[in-house]
Structure 1
Amino acid sequence: MDLISAVGALGEGFVGYALPFLFVLTIVVFFHEFGHFWVARLCGVRVEAFSIGFGPELAGFNDRHGTRWRLGAIPLGGYVRFFGDENAASVPDGEAVRTMTEAERRVSFHYKPVWQRAAVVVAGPLANFVLAIAIFAGIYTLYGKQITAARVDVVEPGSAADTAGFKAGDVVVTINGQPIRSFSDMQRVVGVNADTEIAVEVDRGGVRQHLLATPRMREIKDNFGNTIRTGILGLSRSTTPEEVIRERHDPFTSTWMAVQETWYVTERTLAYVGGLIAGKESADQLGGPIRIAQLSGQVAGVGMIALVNLAAILSISIGLLNLFPIPMLDGGHLVFYAVEAARGRPIGERAQEMFFRVGLALVLMLMLFATWNDIVHLATS
């Protein structure tokens, strides 16, 4: 498929992609911005606008505190604008801030103590993590988690598993001392240990066997035809519907499992970014709005539970992205506040303006690169 055909295919599937994409993105963006909004209100900051989307307003209303709640025409994010902000990135309006009255300063974000400003900023990403934990916990409590025994049915000839001595019928019990309860548990541990030797304990006809194996990095297709790079042993199993167990858990157990799942996604995301910086990972796996929309449509075809699960994963990703120390993002603001706390005064306006311009350029370049990756991905899929 060439690029023109890829764009045409995207247009044909727009409705199928757009609705699930907007559903997922709106949930994630709303909770992120509501985190900023809620803590700002607690700190006595006047909030002038709460927007889902950018650009011209499609609909909106004013609440009793004077905040304009609005829906923008470009549904690719959102913002909360505080009193004294020049724009949606909370860049201070220098002239307006300098000429504020004492009463106005009391409700201005930019005159709040540095710890309150930091709390308001970090509340957005934190809300994303809380949302992910809540979604995972809800799924595990109400729907349950599907479990399939880590039994080996087929050992690929010449694979890492074949070299290590795996046999059909083996049931994986532990990997590096970590208990394995399902085939997906095994795949996760193996996937993150490419080219690293692992110690595997298997149950072979009631007798415990200890094997050493080194998963090999390989590019594979997921269930939606997307290419991913992961560690592979070369094991597979045939699953019948009767063998799939759905385990529901009490809310406390589900919450703890949700915290572990959120940490796993966070850890893997940071590991990928670290590998990208070190040159060990390929940048072609970076996706932008087009790929997220495509994935949302594909997942929506599986069912609502899968789509909500995707919202949790996307929420974690957005929370992490916003914590990166890049001006324009929440993490960049936190760096400014840390410097201000250390030196006893804020960074100068000209320096802040320069950093924000650099940050904007970096964000735009990242978006362009991710979008180009999306188009190439469509063309080659």
Structure 2
Amino acid sequence: MQTVISFILIFGALVFFHELGHLIFAKRAGILCREFAIGFGPKVFSFKKDETVYTIRLLPIGGFVRMAGEDPESIEIKAGYRVGLLFNKNGLVDKIVLNQKERYPEAKIVEVETADLEHELIIQGYEDDHDEELKTFKVDEKAVIIEDGVSNQIAPYDRQFASKTLGQRTMAIFAGPMMNFLLAVVLFMVIAAFQGVVVDEAKLGELTADGAAISAGLKKGDIVHSIDGEDVSTWMDVQEAIQRHPGEEIIFVVERDGETFKVPVTPKEIEREGNRIGVIGVYPPIEKSPLKVLTHGFTETYFWTKQIIVMLGQLITGQFSIDMLSGPVGIYVSTEEVAKSGFFYLMKWAAVLSINLGIMNLLPIPALDGGRLTFFAIEAVRGKPIDRHKEGMVHFIGFALLMLLMLVVTWNDIQRFFL
């Protein structure tokens, strides 16, 4: 149960912040966002706030923000339709009833001649069968169309995705991966605030009660000048010198309270990853200054970003097999292992996954954010957008291939971990 909860919280947080980036910048650009969804498939839970429906869906394989104008509007009012019109206090149409009009006895029934709900925001029609006068009704920009009792807000052109500048559209799409990187930065900062940041200095941190260091008389805060005759200046130098001498007495030259003296220490011999190394029971020096905490968030995010990009390069060059990729099942199993190590390890795992999600979404693959950004780059070069139907077909094919890859990776995970 702990693993299930951890997985749901991590997955939910990564997708939530990714989609939140899209939502915030889309709304800032004035785009009507119809739905903010975590997951795909059937709705499990939903509620509406302002113009947006917030939903949790059954399949935990991503999320989306449905923006007006990205897809053709699902409801089109054509000539000959008989619709019911309800008006607000300003005399503008704010409800257009397509069927079940008997539920709205106060509605004015109109036979539509023309309707423009994107630019002019008008409906022209006749009030009854014998009326020969064509009347024009102005429509409120936030009017809703009601069909089968379900309301769907209209999207004037200036509220649609395609109406916005290239910069606004680019930012609305890029904001998703950007939020994943920012989430990783914040998580690494939180970890550093509680645990501290390793300082790469030749200084001793906390000592274990049963280690060789404390038995030999070393103390926390001792500055190490040399080990076994070799000068050391970083914690890495100290660690490597200790590990090279398992079971052998070595001489530490340390400085404490302004005095320098020698301390003989015999590292305990242990086996790690098939190698025999020495340990003396000492941790690296830790610092919790605000500056260190702040910079740690960015340096760790940069480090893991570089590591993931290197692995992607190995995948392209064939040094990294597709069988080594993991989907939701593999991530679940890994989360189970990480959860055993403690809360802060789980936070670090979430930060690395967030970076991974940000990078994967920036790849120029159709249906992903990177694919859409690629089309924007082409638009910037051409000076005009690519035909929406052609772009939509490319994204549809890309999405189908991604789902196929997801099935292959998931099956590999199931075979690897459960069969």
Match of 2:118 among 86, 90, 100: 100
Q: Is the 8 A contact 2:228 2:252 kept in 1?
A: no
SS of residue paired to 2:385: coil
The correspondence for 1:349, drawn from 388, 392, 401, is 388
Q: Does 2:17 match 1:17?
A: no
Aligned residue in 2 for 1:228: none
Q: Using the alignment, how far apart are the partners of 2:74 and 2:228 within structure 1?
A: 70
Higher helix fraction: Structure 1 or Structure 2?
A: 1
The residue number in structure 2 matching 1:136 is 188
Residues 349-368 of structure 1 mapped to structure 2, 5 A cutoff: 349-368=388-407
| Cα displacement (A) at 1:18 | 2.1
In the TM superposition, residue 84 of structure 1 has moved relative to its aligned partner by 2.1
Counterpart amino acid of 1:31? F
Q: 1:85 corresponds to which residue?
A: 70
- How far has the Cα of 1:25 moved from its partner? 0.6
Instruction: Find the aligned partners of 1:260 and 1:267 in 2 and give their Cα distance.
Output: 11
Task: Specify whether residues 171 and 270 from structure 1 end up closer, same or farther in structure 2 by C-alpha distance, changes over 3 A only.
Answer: farther
Distance 2:172 2:160 in 1: 12
Gaps of 5+ in 1: 1-14, 87-91, 154-167, 188-203, 208-222, 224-231
CA distance in 1, matches of 2:239, 2:21: 37
Specify which structure has the bigger relative contact order, considering alpha-carbon pairs within 8 angstroms and separated by 6 or more residues.
Answer: 1
Greater strand proportion: 2
- Look up the equivalent residue of 2:317 and give its one-letter code: A
Tell me, in whole angstroms, the C-alpha distance in 2 between the residues paired with 1:236 and 1:288: 36
Deviation at 1:354, TM superposition (A): 3.0
The aligned amino acid for 2:54 is: W
**DSSP 3-state at the match of 1:302:** coil
Aligned residues: 299
After TM superposition, the score normalised by the length of structure 2 is: 0.63
Per the alignment, residue 66 of structure 1 pairs with: 51
Deviates more, 1:328-337 or 1:18-27: 18-27
What is the letter of the counterpart of residue 45 of structure 1? I
Aligned partner of 2:279 in structure 1 is 238
Equivalent of residue 414 in structure 2, options 344, 368, 375: 375
State whether residues 24 and 296 of structure 1, in contact with CA within 8 Å, keep that contact through their aligned partners in structure 2.
no
Q: What CA distance in whole angstroms lies between the structure 1 residues aligned with 2:286 and 2:321? A: 36
Indicate whether 1:113 and 2:186 are aligned: no
Write the distance in 1 (CA, Å) between the matches of 2:418 and 2:330. 12
Within 2, Cα distance between the matches of 1:327 and 1:172?
Answer: 54
Deviates more, 1:246-255 or 1:132-141: 246-255
Q: Hey, what's the Cα distance between the residues in 1 that align with 2:276 and 2:35?
A: 54
SS in 2 for 1:34: helix
What is the TM-score when the length of structure 1 is the normalising length? Answer: 0.69
CA distance in structure 1 between the partners assigned to 2:405 and 2:238 by the alignment: 37
C-alpha contact (below 8 Å) 1:141/1:248 kept by paired residues = no
2:18 partner SS: helix
- The residue identity in structure 2 corresponding to 1:36 is H
Instruction: Report 1:138-177 matches (<5 A).
Output: 138-145=190-197
Matching residue's letter, 2:414 = I
Q: Take 2:231 and 2:56, find their aligned partners in 1: how far apart are those partners?
A: 51
1:75 aligns with 2:60: yes
Q: Does 1:247 align with 2:300?
A: no
Question: By how many angstroms is 1:205 displaced?
Answer: 4.8
Is the counterpart of residue 288 in structure 1 residue 327 in structure 2? Answer: yes
Contact 1:150 1:183 in 2 (8 A): no
| Inter-CA distance 377–236: structure 2 relative to 1 (3 Å threshold) | farther
Q: Which has more radius of gyration? A: 2
* Structure 1 residue identity aligned to 2:57: G
Q: Is the 8 A contact 2:197 2:292 kept in 1?
A: no
Overall identity of the aligned pairs, in %: 33
Query: Would the aligned equivalents of 2:232 and 2:238 in 1 still touch at CA under 8 Å?
Result: no
Report deviation, 1:173.
5.2
Query: Is residue 174 of structure 2 the alignment partner of residue 122 of structure 1?
Result: yes
Distance 2:277 2:228 in 1: 11
SS state at 1:62 partner:
strand
Q: 1:113 to 1:280 in 2, by over 3 A?
A: same
Q: What CA RMSD, in Å, does the superposition of the two structures yield over aligned residues?
A: 3.5
Partner Cα distance (1:26, 1:131) in 2: 13
Shift of 1:331: 0.2
CA–CA separation in structure 1 for the residues paired with 2:391 and 2:364: 14
1:251 offset after TM fit, Å? 2.7
Q: Residues 237-276 of structure 1 correspond to what in structure 2 (within 5 A)?
A: 237-238=278-279, 240=281, 243-245=282-284, 247-276=286-315
Counterpart residue type for residue 119 of structure 2: T
Is the 1:172–1:180 Cα contact (8 Å) retained in structure 2? no
* Partner secondary structure for residue 298 of structure 2: helix
Show the counterpart of 1:316.
355
Deviation of 1:42 after TM superposition, in Å, equals 1.2
